[in-house]
Amino acid sequence: MSAAQKLRGGPLFRVWRQLRRRRLSLVALGVLAVMFLMALMAEQLASDKPVAVRVDGATHWFPNLTDPAALRNENVHRLRSRLRPELGEWMIEPLIPYGPFQTYAEQPTQPTSAPPWAPDGEHFLGTDELGRDVLARIVHGTRVSLTVGFVAVSIYVAIGVLLGALAGYYGGAVDALVSRVTEVMMTFPTLFFILAVLGLMRVQSMVPIMVVIGLTRWTDVCRLVRAEVLRLKRLEFVEAARALGASDARIILRHLLPNAMGPVMVAATFGVAGAILIESALSFLGFGVPPPTASWGELLTQAHRYVVHPGAWWLTLFPGLAIFLTVTAFNLAGEGLRDALDPRLKE
């Protein structure tokens, strides 16, 4: 069998074939792909430094990433006005010539009114209270949301799988202990708990947020894995493995967990959506990533502050849409994945 044939018959391919048939899931995957690209290429899309520039007899590649000393005091707008094409100077601009931290003081136009400014030809989605470009901050905020989503979920999937497998496989006292702890965790309102921990510890950075979400939300995965392991361990192939002298660790890792992974992946996909929602809620409440880091929830806090005057609808609508689209895409992908893994659910 060739490698390609092997791939075609493999479980991943089967899932993909099922997934491909659902138009909505494909759209969701497309949206997610765009989000990932936005997170990866945030600096290329929105920056106050050019992607590449030749000025003063030197060529700089990616000053938006490297921030070279020679261009420290420059930005796209300033460079635009002093560039001399007749001397062979040129510049590749990012799509949005504003950085996420660039306040109105560092911008070319000095309007008469105080920010936040409504969308216009210069700032497509308007600016926030410091005159920072909303689109630039949304693009850079993607990074925070996706990182928190994926890392937090990875943490709790690891915890949930470990505890669930142990509880399901060994039963008895281990199971009783794990089940009690799960119950306690489930009675705590997650958002409230996370808020209390982060607020009292007075830490504002991405790592504790991810860790705390990871430490509180593992209960669903744990219960899923426990139930799957309980079901699977009575099947004949496990007995066969044991008869062949396989150790507990080998049975759990090689035989039980791979078979229990389907529902876990589905739960994890939904989980990323949940974690992104939690992160944005934390940022909204002022307990999220520290300023001046761009985050979707933080823009909505400002929106609330300016709800009456000047009624900054652009601060509400666009960051909210970004959250909504991402969360919906993850939920749809999760739904598609569930149907693809379990064709019985389809009518």
Partner 1 sequence: MMIPTFFGITLLTFAIGHLAPGDPLLIETDSPLPGSASQETIDRFRQAHGLDLPLYVQYGRWLSKVVRLDFGHSTQDHRPVTEKIAESLPKTLLLSTLALFFAYLVAVPIGVYSAVRKGWLERAVTVALFALYSMPSFWVAVMLLLAFSSGRALDWFPLQGLTSEGFAAMGLAAKLSDLAWHLVLPVFCLSYASLASVSRYMRTGMLEVIRQDYIRTARAKGLSERTVVFRHAFRNSIIPVVTLLGLMLPHLVGGSVIVERIFGIQGMGLLAFDAIFHRDYPMVMGVTTLVALFTMASVLLSDVLYAVVDPRIRVEVAS
Min. distance of Cβ 321 from partner 1 in angstroms?
A: 9
Min. distance of Cβ 198 from partner 1 in angstroms?
A: 8
The window from 34-42, 75-83, 118-126, 188-196 that contacts partner 1 (CB under 8 A) reads: 188-196
Give φ, ψ of 276 to 5 degrees: -65, -40
Among 130, 197, 215, 241, binds partner 1 (CB under 8 A): 197
Min. distance of Cβ 18 from partner 1 in angstroms?
A: 19
The window from 124-132, 157-165, 243-251, 296-304 that contacts partner 1 (CB under 8 A) reads: 296-304
Distance of alpha carbon 332 from alpha carbon 26, whole angstroms: 9
Give me the residue label for tokens 């944005």: 280
Q: Is residue 303 a contact point for partner 1 (CB under 8 A)?
A: yes
Helices (H), 244-312: 248-250, 257-285, 296-305
Q: Which of residues 83-142 bind partner 1 (CB under 8 A)?
A: none
Q: Is residue 30 a contact point for partner 1 (CB under 8 A)?
A: no
Give me the residue label for tokens 């991402």: 326
Give the binding-site size for partner 1 (rule: CB under 8 A): 45
Residue among 318, 275, 314 nearest 296 (CA):
318
Distance of alpha carbon 286 from alpha carbon 304, whole angstroms: 12
Find how far residue 293's CA is from the centre of its chain. 15
The window from 141-149, 161-169, 177-185, 251-259 that contacts partner 1 (CB under 8 A) reads: 177-185
Burial of 96 (0-12, 13-18, 19+ CB in 10 A): buried
Nearer to partner 1, 26 or 195 (CB): 195
Q: Which positions ≥6 away from 196 have C-beta within 8 Å?
A: none
Q: Is residue 184 a contact point for partner 1 (CB under 8 A)?
A: yes
Min. distance of Cβ 329 from partner 1 in angstroms?
A: 9
Report the interhelical angle of 313-341 vs 23-40 (nearest 10°). 130
Binding site for partner 1 (CB under 8 A): 180-181, 183-184, 186-193, 195-197, 199-202, 273, 277, 280-281, 284-287, 297, 300, 303-304, 307-308, 311, 313, 316-317, 319-320, 323-324, 327-328, 331-332
